[in-house]
Structure 1
Amino acid sequence: MASRLLNFRAALVLGAVLLGSSPALAEAVLHRGNAGEPQTLDQAHTSINIEEFILKDLYEGLTIYDAAGKIIPGAAETWDLSDDGLTYTFKLRADAKWSDGSPVTAEDFVFSYQRVEDPKTAAGYANILYPIKNAEKVNKGEMKPEELGIKAIDEKTVEITLERPTPFFLELLAHQTALPVSKASVEKNGTDFVKPGVMVSNGAFKLVSHVPNDNLVVEKNPNYWDAANVKLDKVVFYPIDDQAASVRRFEAKEMDLVYNFSADQIDRLRGAYGDQVHVAPALATYYYVFDTRQEPYSDVRVRRALSMAVDRDFLAKEIYSGAQIPAYSMVPPGIDTYGDPSKADFADMSQLDREDKAIELMKEAGYGDGGKPLKIEIRYNTNPNHERVATAVADMWKNTFKADVSLVNLDVSSHYAYLQEGGKFNVARAGWSADYADAENFLALNLSSNKTFNYGHYENPEYDALMQKSYDERDPVARSKVMHEAEAMLMRDQPVAPFMTSADLWLVSGRVKGWSDNAANQHLSRFLSLSE
């Protein structure tokens, strides 16, 4: 009898060991390369996609993007729109909870949106919610936050009133700026609400730890309304802006996803990893911006000449190995409601003719060979591709104008913080990925009222007036026409010089399931799973 009992216990122990080692029960951990350290995890101050990728795993807005990049219900299960297109009524999910188990309420969204528009918050992306009634006036301090056009009808019903019908409003609500915060947590913890161990979130994951410039770890949120369908137990984000290091870690199977890698590696990586290499056309523009506050960049002739002298075909083909497309418009192609964008008037000229015209313009402005010395500093965020572009552009300007060109680079967070805070510069690299599929998202960057993203401080009352007219226009065809006029003006003045329409470069391990390339570049971890 004792012998049988001993054998039975031994069998139990052996079974437990085997069960514990079963792949089916192993912790599912996704390792994501994230291309840089986030400036913030406060949605009111977020501005770049490496922050967005993390925040959208932690929080869920009224609407979200699915794996294919399409808008679907998020924290709101349903919504209705009034006949005049001005009032949305959102019904929150009855089982929507914060990670501490408390219910997500309509008041949380009211608090969150008022917080974004409150000028005391100084949210850089406050304009995303400007379609909401009184939002711009609140943000400028002309009205109180309580006068924002959002209210809680009851605990689970949010009513939002708009200034004017906005066809892309549901997409705006999926933006990271529109992610909610827990009113109770922010009121209790102040700015510390973003810290590990303190943060209360309503998304598929919750924040566990964050070691700056090393890793950020989130784990499955058991209180998430759809937790049963979340296949990952944990996601580790690695803020590596060294692209070669990211690729090495992918090749060593230390990372499952790598966002952005050196384009000159595309052929080699495709040869080695086949369809694990993803080059996805995006609604994104790679451009240089001129600081129009100072000479000679305040002179449209100088800006046009510098822009014309840049050989976009060389940049796209030689530096990006065909992973990008030469661009002569701020708005990328592919926006259904806009059609073909308005290109610069030199788009159809040969590069040699452009250079000849550029030399004429520069001489007319009194700069370059035979005129005032042209000394240019190009700023860019640290990245091998951006360095190669800057080096190539510098050579083009040296050869065409005998310019003295120098390069300065900063990490991505510092680079954009410098531009957004109004730091002075000569020429700076920038990129813009669509927050929503509408031309306005690109054209609004250069409004004189856009204090955050109008890096070059371009001011043109005619341009501002055209954009305002587009906001007031209800007819989609007429609205598109007005925006084309505005873009033509922007491309005439060249405060920004678009170089390329971008593609998103990803390395996706074969063990990652549920991945779908999409122009919106939306890849929430809740839709992904792993196979061994």
Structure 2
Amino acid sequence: MPAQPSPAQSAQTQLERGNGPEPSTLDAHRCQEVACGNVLRDLYEGLVTEDAQGRLVPGMAQRWTVSADGRTWRFVLRPGLRWSNGEALDAGQIVASFRRAFAPATAAPFGELFDALDQAQAVQAGRVAPERLGVSAPDPRTVEFRLNRSASLPALLTLPIAFPVYLPAVRRHGAQHTRPGQLVSNGAYTLAAWTPQANLQLRRNPRFHDAAAVAIERVRFHVTEDAAAELQRFAAGDLHITEVVPPQPLVSLRRRFGAQLRLSPYLGAFWLGLNTTRAPFRDAPCAAGATRCDDRALALRRALAMAVDRDKLTRYVTGLGETPAYGTVPPGIAGYTPAQAAWSDLPQAQREAHARALYRYAGYSARNPLTLELRYNTSTPHRRLALAVAAMWRQTLGVQVRLRNEEWKVFVQNRKQRAITQAFRGGWIGDLADARNFLAAFGNDGPLNWTGYDDAGYRERLARADAAATDAARNAWLRAAEQRLLNDHAAIPLYFYTSKHLVSERVRGFQPNALDRHASRWLSLSP
């Protein structure tokens, strides 16, 4: 029987990480949230990956080239790549995995981000066979991608949808291929155990190409939906890293935790979505020959947006460096100037006066108040924010708000289906530093368009951005699209994120980066 590690050895070789809600899946092609992404980046590696500072570095590919027109990319694999079960991993398997990712049956939520990949949209829609997808293997160590327009492909290849999934396990086990003992991966770690609603245990993968440089033997991701409880577990020494920090006065947090409190800029926007496919936010269709449509639903959406005091939210409710948001794209993206709501320069008192007038125009009053359900996933910060927004809507407009919290997986499904949602917690965490990443979901009827926003003018502006000949022209069209989205008020921007974690003094290698990704392979634990 193998010798068991002593408690002292375990303390030095096991990293304890808070991870927020239970991951909705460990199927890399179906992951759509941070909770599964954190785990998958430990289990898998794409052709390209990121270092601790968030810079693009070689992953499975040791090098890559791009054609002069930016439409053909070739990636040369490292020699001797292996799956965690010891089998060889070659270019043909990577191509087959991409075809599975975009097959209609997979329903990959992030497939729409690869709209530049030749035939990707047609494959996902079932119009052409997966074999027509613009990815091929000229030889066992080369993967080639064909694009229909110039795009920053290496950044996209860091997303979980681009990770290689071991297809024999999918054929053998179906949806259960993600379970311990059945999940075959290619990253720095393997899945050793998964206790639902408790934790996921990972073990270092000895067949990873850079296993010798992976310092931490085991990683345990804990389900920590309650941010206040997560903080207490950190304070008690049960966690080395928290996923978030609950809303508390910054001065007291600094006093209590000192340098263990890590705050840094983050490409993320928090907004509330409004379901524009059903009452009360659905626009009335224009009558034939009419010069003006019934715009009372738009007036109501705008009233709700203007009634929220974002300065109070970021000062008293979130309070950890977040900044008020009047757009959907956060600052900090090179070459892009974010758009803002047209009324963002008005003092709050004037916004509220306009909001009350719009509310009356939409047909609501003290005698006929709007009754609205605001839905959010179970989380202390989200509950506090929902309570604050509901109070502002009630005090300024007289809206009667019912708060409904749901466990993460249930919330995700309800939000995606748009059948029972009215107002709901939304937002977007950047997958790459590109304004389009924050706007693309609103441009089609895919699973990420939770609001159901449907506007031909918006889609035209995205298309013009895609066809632009220069970065400046592309960003100008993207800004025009964002402005149109803001004018239609399908979403109510509230604040731009900061990344916020508590990190033990024992953790080495934890570096701030704009996308807030911290793969365990770059970390170590001091004694």
TM-score bracket, shorter-length normalisation: over 0.9
Counterparts of 1:112-511 in structure 2, within 5 Å, are: 112-166=97-151, 168-264=152-248, 266-298=250-282, 299-338=297-336, 340-369=337-366, 372-447=368-443, 449-511=444-506
**Rounded Cα–Cα distance in structure 2 between residues aligned with 1:271 and 1:187:** 54
Tell me the CA shift for residue 295 of structure 1.
2.6
Tell me the CA shift for residue 422 of structure 1.
2.8
**Rounded Cα–Cα distance in structure 1 between residues aligned with 2:10 and 2:379:** 39
**1:49 paired residue number:** 34
Q: Secondary structure at the match of 1:181?
A: coil
Q: Secondary structure at the match of 1:506?
A: strand
Q: Which runs of 4+ in 1 moved over 4 A?
A: 20-27
| Contact kept? 1:288, 1:499, Cα under 8 Å | yes
| Contact kept? 2:18, 2:222, Cα under 8 Å | yes
| Contact kept? 2:277, 2:418, Cα under 8 Å | no
| Contact kept? 2:320, 2:498, Cα under 8 Å | no
Q: Secondary structure at the match of 1:257?
A: coil
**Rounded Cα–Cα distance in structure 2 between residues aligned with 1:27 and 1:294:** 54
* C-alpha RMSD of the superposition: 1.6
Which residue type is aligned with residue 297 of structure 1?
Answer: F
Tell me the CA shift for residue 25 of structure 1.
9.4
Deviations 1:385-429 (A, max 9, x none): 111111111111111111111100012232122111333222101
**Rounded Cα–Cα distance in structure 1 between residues aligned with 2:362 and 2:10:** 70
Tell me the CA shift for residue 229 of structure 1.
0.2
**Rounded Cα–Cα distance in structure 2 between residues aligned with 1:495 and 1:185:** 41
Which residue type is aligned with residue 169 of structure 1?
Answer: L
- Inter-CA distance 377–25: structure 2 relative to 1 (3 Å threshold): closer
**5+ residue gaps in structure 2?**
283-296
**Rounded Cα–Cα distance in structure 2 between residues aligned with 1:229 and 1:170:** 23
**Rounded Cα–Cα distance in structure 2 between residues aligned with 1:185 and 1:296:** 46
Q: Secondary structure at the match of 1:264?
A: coil
**2:286 paired residue number:** none
Answer with 1 or 2: which has the greater Rg. 1
**Rounded Cα–Cα distance in structure 2 between residues aligned with 1:126 and 1:317:** 37
Which residue type is aligned with residue 388 of structure 1?
Answer: R
Q: Secondary structure at the match of 2:248?
A: helix
- Inter-CA distance 25–297: structure 2 relative to 1 (3 Å threshold): closer
The alignment's TM-score, normalised by the length of structure 2, stands at: 0.94
Aligned pairs, how many? 510
The alignment's TM-score, normalised by the length of structure 1, stands at: 0.93
Tell me the CA shift for residue 322 of structure 1.
4.2
Q: Secondary structure at the match of 1:263?
A: coil
Which residue type is aligned with residue 357 of structure 1?
Answer: H
Deviations 1:456-487 (A, max 9, x none): 11111111111111111121111111111111
Which residue type is aligned with residue 40 of structure 2?
Answer: L
Tell me the CA shift for residue 369 of structure 1.
3.1
**1:524 paired residue number:** 519
Counterparts of 1:40-79 in structure 2, within 5 Å, are: 40-79=25-64
1:513 matched to 2:508? The reply is yes
- Inter-CA distance 47–393: structure 2 relative to 1 (3 Å threshold): same
Tell me the CA shift for residue 244 of structure 1.
1.7
- Inter-CA distance 343–184: structure 2 relative to 1 (3 Å threshold): same
| Contact kept? 1:390, 1:407, Cα under 8 Å | yes
Q: Secondary structure at the match of 1:293?
A: coil
**Rounded Cα–Cα distance in structure 2 between residues aligned with 1:234 and 1:25:** 9
Q: Secondary structure at the match of 2:65?
A: strand
Tell me the CA shift for residue 132 of structure 1.
1.0
Aligned with residue 81 of structure 2, among 77, 96, 106: 96
- Inter-CA distance 395–25: structure 2 relative to 1 (3 Å threshold): closer
Deviations 1:337-362 (A, max 9, x none): 31x21100011000000001111111
Which residue type is aligned with residue 319 of structure 1?
Answer: V
| Contact kept? 1:337, 1:438, Cα under 8 Å | no
Tell me the CA shift for residue 265 of structure 1.
5.4
Identical-residue share of aligned pairs (%): 36
Tell me the CA shift for residue 375 of structure 1.
0.6
**1:28 paired residue number:** 13
- Inter-CA distance 458–26: structure 2 relative to 1 (3 Å threshold): closer
